[in-house]
């Protein structure tokens, strides 16, 4: 966790209300950090529906493997998350640590190990000593309470400079349901479903299959549409839990994602996922600027997305933004290297509302002063029109500063 708070941090945090059916506790287990919490437990007093998506890395962490094994059951009673150690690339020791943690959590909340979900974030390749926190889960389960969301977000931070939280409401059968979410991530961020973790809980009554369909539908335009440094983590985990407690107030059960009653909930879920994903970008390691990249009139949405990521992940584009240099030539370069269909002589580029290039050359009315003024903003829009189709995509990223190198140059020290 960095000592300096990002200049893009929120000025205030929303108040996240307690959600019926879930209780939260945090603790300082001394896994890596001193003088701060690094362990979080969510307890679901009744089985909650669960859906999830995970990293596509071919070197996933032990907790990712564990969660994938339990996800098919569709029900959760406990979530345990630690920071400071990713429990990734830890071999048999990693599996022993997940087993020990799951056994302790199951005992603490009175459930089976198949109803436990785990996540870890931090250094890769260091064995995780689960004895540091397995013994405290009993007490945490007893003292857990509802309104601990900001505490939970703080406990899972690594190089994050601020906790990421969001809340939304929706209506089901005229009954208000609540969604609360937390996330962490600042570096190793290029989710492909960095170190990206996010956990969302609602009191809506939704079947696991319906929840999984909604999650899968919206992850592409939210968490998978952000990048800090192009590096996909071994540990990316996004879990959504539905306690069903709102059914006691008359909110009916949603059995399928196509249920018309789920429309408002689905919109709230998508909106929250985008909110949390953009908060991660705004806390990118060393970041000083948030960047939104829109690619339009590509041959397909997929092609537009790959071009947008080529721009977003280009170190030359990102360093130009850090230096407030309106160097649109670097955007041209990133479009050209993407390996996607493009016609140089139809290309147009905007920085904010300033068109800097059109029809394969600098805009005839180009103003260096106007373009430079855009680059001084905290939030910058880069828009590219290819002029060859109807595909479009949007990606969020941040600038690349000297601080990124400093943070990652001594991450393990």
Neighbour tally for 260: CB within 10 Å: 6
Instruction: Please name which of 367, 378, 170 lies closest in space to residue 272, comparing C-alpha atoms.
Output: 170
Give dist(CA 13, CA 166) in Å, integer: 8
**In sequence order, what DSSP letters do the residues of 209-260 get, joined into one string?**
HHHHHHHHHHHTTTGGGB-SSSPPPS--EEEEEE--GGGGGTPPPB-STT-G
Instruction: Please name which of 166, 178, 253 lies closest in space to residue 210, comparing C-alpha atoms.
Output: 253
**In sequence order, what DSSP letters do the residues of 287-304 get, joined into one string?**
---EEEEEEEEESSHHHH
Q: Which residues, 6+ apart, have CB-to-CB distance to 67 below 8 Å?
A: 52, 54, 117, 118, 119, 237, 239
> Hunting for tokens 């969302």 — which residue is that?
200
- Is 285 annotated to bind a ligand? Reply is yes
For residues 296 and 395, the answer to whether their CB atoms sit within 8 Å is no
Instruction: Please name which of 158, 146, 149 lies closest in space to residue 84, comparing C-alpha atoms.
Output: 158
- Is 361 annotated to bind a ligand? Reply is no
Tokens describing residue 393: 């995509």
Among the options 195, 234, 237, 401, which is catalytic? 195
Strand partners of residue 22: 44
For residues 204 and 246, the answer to whether their CB atoms sit within 8 Å is yes
- Is 195 annotated to bind a ligand? Reply is yes
195 catalytic? Reply is yes
SS3 281: helix
SS3 22: strand
Q: What's the chain's length in residues?
A: 413
SS3 184: strand
- Is 408 annotated to bind a ligand? Reply is yes
SS3 77: strand
Instruction: Please name which of 166, 138, 14 lies closest in space to residue 80, comparing C-alpha atoms.
Output: 138
- Residues assigned a catalytic role: 195
Annotated binding site: 158, 184, 195, 285, 408, 413
Annotated binding site for substrate: 158, 184, 195, 285, 408, 413
């Amino acid at each position: 966790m960095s000592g300096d708070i990002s200049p893009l941090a929120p000025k205030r945090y929303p108040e996240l209300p307690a959600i019926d059916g879930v209780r939260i506790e945090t603790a300082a287990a001394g896994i890596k950090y001193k003088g701060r919490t690094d362990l979080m437990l969510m307890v679901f007093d009744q089985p909650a529906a669960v859906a999830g998506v995970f990293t596509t890395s071919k070197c996933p962490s032990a907790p990712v493997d564990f969660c994938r094994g339990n996800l098919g059951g569709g029900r959760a009673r406990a979530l345990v998350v630690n920071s400071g150690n990713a429990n990734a690339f830890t071999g048999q020791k990693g599996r022993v640590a997940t087993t020990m943690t799951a056994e302790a959590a199951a005992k603490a909340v009175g459930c089976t190990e198949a109803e436990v979900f785990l996540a870890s974030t931090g250094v890769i390749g260091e064995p995780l000593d689960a004895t540091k926190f397995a013994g405290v889960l009993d007490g945490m389960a007893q003292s857990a309470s509802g309104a601990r969301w900001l505490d939970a977000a703080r406990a899972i931070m690594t190089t994050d400079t601020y906790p990421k939280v969001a809340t939304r409401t929706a209506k089901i059968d005229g009954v208000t349901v609540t969604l609360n979410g937390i996330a962490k991530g600042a570096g190793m961020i290029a989710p492909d479903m960095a170190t990206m973790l996010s956990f969302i809980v609602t009191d809506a009554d939704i079947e696991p299959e319906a929840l999984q369909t909604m999650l899968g539908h919206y992850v592409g335009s939210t968490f998978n549409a952000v990048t800090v440094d192009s590096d996909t983590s071994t540990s990316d985990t996004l879990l959504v839990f539905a306690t069903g407690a709102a059914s006691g107030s008359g909110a009916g059960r949603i059995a399928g994602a196509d249920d018309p009653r789920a429309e408002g909930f689905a919109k709230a879920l998508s909106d929250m996922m985008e909110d949390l994903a953009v908060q991660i970008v705004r806390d990118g390691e060393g970041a000083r600027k948030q960047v939104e990249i829109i690619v339009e009139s590509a041959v397909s949405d997929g092609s537009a997305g790959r071009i947008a990521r080529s721009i977003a992940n280009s170190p030359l584009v990102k360093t130009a933004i850090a230096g407030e240099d309106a160097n649109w030539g670097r955007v041209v370069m990133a479009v050209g290297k993407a390996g996607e269909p493009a016609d140089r002589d139809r290309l147009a580029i905007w920085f904010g509302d300033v068109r800097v290039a059109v029809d394969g050359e600098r805009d005839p009315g180009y103003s260096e002063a106007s373009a430079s003024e855009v680059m001084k903003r905290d939030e910058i829009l880069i828009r590219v029109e290819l002029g060859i189709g109807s595909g479009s995509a949007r990606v969020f990223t941040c600038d690349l500063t000297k601080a990124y190198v400093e943070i990652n140059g001594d991450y393990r020290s």
